[in-house]
Amino acid sequence: MTTARDIMHAGAECIGEDEYLDKAARMMRDLNVGSLPICGRDDRLHGIVTDRDIVLRCCAENRNPAEVPASEIAQGTPHWVDARADVGEVLETMEGHQVRRVPVISEHRLVGMISEADLARALTDDQLAHFVESIYARG
């Protein structure tokens, strides 16, 4: 059985909940990613911030990214998968919540992220086609 831990990319870096969006943007640039997990002082996942969030919920509202903390962007409870989840559960979570990236948690700690690129390497062509159709066909 292939698990989330098998297909994730390990070492996902967090932006602290009290750190500002300008730092998040620089981290995304430097890491060549489009999203970052938001971690709290308790070292647990508190949300996710995307490049789109920064543009729409900060810049487009004429706010200064150097003054907006990441915690302000986090909306609701983040969707995640357990490191032991099988690929079917990963796909069900991502498709069901219409997310293109999902954090991987083990023992209440972030251990990695799964992105579309990770899925592309791990899935059969049929599984990948179904995922793409599920995520992009709905809008």
Confidence of residue 138 (pLDDT cuts 50, 70, 90): low
Question: Are residues 46 and 39 in contact, defined by beta-carbon separation less than 8 angstroms?
Answer: yes
Taking the C-alpha atoms of residue 114 and residue 4, their distance in angstroms, rounded to an integer, is: 8
Rounded to 10°, the helix 125-136/87-96 angle is 20
Helix then strand count (H, E) for the chain reads: 6, 7
24-77 pLDDT, tens digit per residue, is 999 999 999 888 999 988 878 999 999 999 999 999 999 999 999 999 987 777
pLDDT, residue 77, reads 79
Taking the C-alpha atoms of residue 20 and residue 44, their distance in angstroms, rounded to an integer, is: 18
5-35 pLDDT, tens digit per residue, is 999 998 889 999 999 999 999 999 999 988 8
Q: Any idea where the domains of the chain sit in the sequence? A: 4-136
Architecture of domain 4-136: Roll (3.10)
Higher per-residue pLDDT: 109 or 137: 109
Taking the C-alpha atoms of residue 44 and residue 46, their distance in angstroms, rounded to an integer, is: 6
